[in-house]
Amino acid sequence: MARTLLVTVLAVLLKASTQRNINSHGNSDCSYESENLALNWSYDELSNDVVFKMVARNSKSASFYTPVAFGDETPNDVVTVYVRNGQIGLIDGHLDSEEGTIEADEKTNVQALGFDLQNGVLTAQFARPVETSDEDDAYLGNCITMFLPVESHEIVPSQPLIMPTNLNKIRICDIVVTCTDKKHSDVLVKRQQEAICASGPESQKNRITWTVDGDNVVFDVNQNAKKGRWWTAIGVGSSMENLNLIGLFAENGRLKHEGIYRTEGKMQPEPFEIENVALERRSANVKGGRAQFEIAVSKRFFTEAADESGCFTLQIAILAGNYKPKFLIGKHKQTPTAIEICNLDACGASSEFQLDPTTTTTTTEAAAPQEASTVTAAHIEIASTVASPASLSTTEEAKQPILTVASTPIPAVLNPDVEGSAEVPTMATVEVEGSGQGDVTPLTNELDGNPTGKGCGANHEDLKVCESYFAEYLGKVDEWSKRHNMTIASHMWKACTLLSQVQHVTTMCCTIFRSTCATHLQL
């Protein structure tokens, strides 16, 4: 009898050890850190969301995933951040109790706030409500157990994602009270107020961006020209049920068909017509193994799905699966990424490079007077104001040109099909103030001096205003880039192209202009 009992106990222990190795940890500072994973969380009062920031290290594979699970005794509710061949995504899911696989929820409640991937280090920030209507979502208001993997796990092609067996367990209680952090609310307020105009950062290989053009929303789809028949979808709705979507069907990268579809329950999406909603193909190109499509759809397609606060959930699935005959959407191999959009109109055509609506003016002294004029070129103003000769003092001091960063945006000056080719205005308008006649004469927008020449001259010295002007201007470019999850380096060619079109900059600020823009304009 005793021997039988001992064998039974050993069998149970052996089974438990092969299922999951769970280590318990305390929680005192709303954070967790191990050798390969760091996670912190805070409660945001404004949105009633819990904001998570994850840093996961993985140097073994280009495709990996890191799940964060919640439950009582065992994990059930799972949020998974993954990288698949450079493409970053987020899955709001749950654990299949029988198979141990991570399955996507029917309704997405997790919102992506930001992603970054550098040298195998993934940084992800996402938010989830304390309480949702999804029965698979855990309630985060009381005590809950968090299950965290010891390390990220490799994504095996054609295999489902599974919950790792080696987990650390953390018991957390009263997040709403103990983990409230006022500064974290800025992230969510920013999400509501600022434009989200892309499916991910510029570093993502496959990416979709969008702009509002009048009554239309224009989507620029950039993806691999993948062999075979693949579909890409842009949907609107928080749940995979009753979802309206735009289906794009490509064969070997070439766009064969586009259309509007709708899901009913868990049925296959079917072609669907929406009154007063039109879909237009504007361009479709394949070059160098890449496919680029430009698709326009009536803005009403999205605004009718918005809630009382004007927000809606955009579902993005790029090269998500193979399509069937007659352009029917097949089962997706990749879970769509959900993005909450609350300020669609801010993605206007002018928002591609929008500076803050403030104008900064800096003045300094100069060596010689100049005629008064106002020049506008490439949306950056330079106003030159000097005293008349009669008002000059005996030391002949004079005011210098005022360099002004205008509140107008920097336009997209490159042809997207030809990298490095600039389409900058060739004419500017110069209005001569004080002439009494209001004459307006065209002025060829030639560069002052020759920035493509050999240098600035042996005796050249930049005006004192140049340093602060460049610092202010590039600071705004950098600020804009960060707000849109981009890097300033990716926009320097554009900023430098426009700076080169501004009168006085290439001569009076020749040294700093060349040191800043030489590599971007091949000076």
What distance lies between CA 1 and its chain's CA centroid?
A: 65
* E strands, 252-372, in order: 254-262, 270-271, 279-287, 290-298, 312-324, 328-329, 337-341, 360-362, 365-366
Q: Give the integer Cα–Cα distance in Å for 161 and 77.
A: 14
Nearest Cα neighbor of 504 from 374, 409, 407 is 374
| The pLDDT value given to residue 345 | 84
Nearest Cα neighbor of 201 from 490, 453, 433 is 490
Delimit the domains of the chain by residue range.
Answer: 19-185, 194-347, 353-521
Q: Give the integer Cα–Cα distance in Å for 91 and 78.
A: 8
Q: pTM for this one? A: 0.41
pLDDT band at 504 (very low <50, low <70, confident <90, very high): confident
- State yes or no: pLDDT of 248 exceeds 70: yes
Q: May I ask the CATH class of domain 19-185?
A: mainly beta
| The pLDDT value given to residue 490 | 66
| The pLDDT value given to residue 7 | 43
Counting other chains too, the contacts that 432-435 makes at CB distance below 8 Å and 24 or more residues apart are 432/371, 432/372, 432/373, 433/372, 433/373, 433/374, 434/372
- CATH no. of 194-347: 2.60.40.1210
pLDDT band at 241 (very low <50, low <70, confident <90, very high): low
Starting at the earlier edge strand, list the strands of the sheet with 37-44.
31-33, 37-44, 49-57, 121-129, 111-118
Q: What is the mean pLDDT of the chain?
A: 72
Nearest Cα neighbor of 146 from 14, 241, 54 is 54
| The pLDDT value given to residue 240 | 65
| Angle separating helix axes 464-483 and 492-500, nearest 10 degrees | 140
Provide the 8-state DSSP code for 422.
Answer: B
Q: Give the integer Cα–Cα distance in Å for 106 and 94.
A: 10
| The pLDDT value given to residue 58 | 81
Q: Give the integer Cα–Cα distance in Å for 258 and 221.
A: 12
pLDDT digits (tens, 9 = 90+) for 164-173: 888 899 998 8
- State yes or no: pLDDT of 102 exceeds 70: yes
CA distances from 6 to 1, 15, 16, 357, 506 (A): 9, 14, 15, 76, 86
Collapsing DSSP states into helix, strand and coil, what is residue 25? strand
b/e burial code for range 474-497 (CB count within 10 A of at least 16 → b): bebbbebbeebbbeeeebbbbbbb
Q: Give the integer Cα–Cα distance in Å for 243 and 239.
A: 7
| The pLDDT value given to residue 282 | 93
* CB contact at 8 A, 100 and 78: no
Question: Which of these ranges, 15-19, 89-93, 381-385, 479-483, has the smallest mean pLDDT?
Answer: 381-385
95 against 158, higher pLDDT: 95
Nearest Cα neighbor of 71 from 191, 189, 171, 160 is 171
* CB contact at 8 A, 229 and 251: yes
Tokens coding 472: 């202010």
Around Cβ 239, how many Cβ atoms within 10 Å?
16
Question: Which of these ranges, 24-33, 256-265, 314-323, has the smallest mean pLDDT?
Answer: 24-33
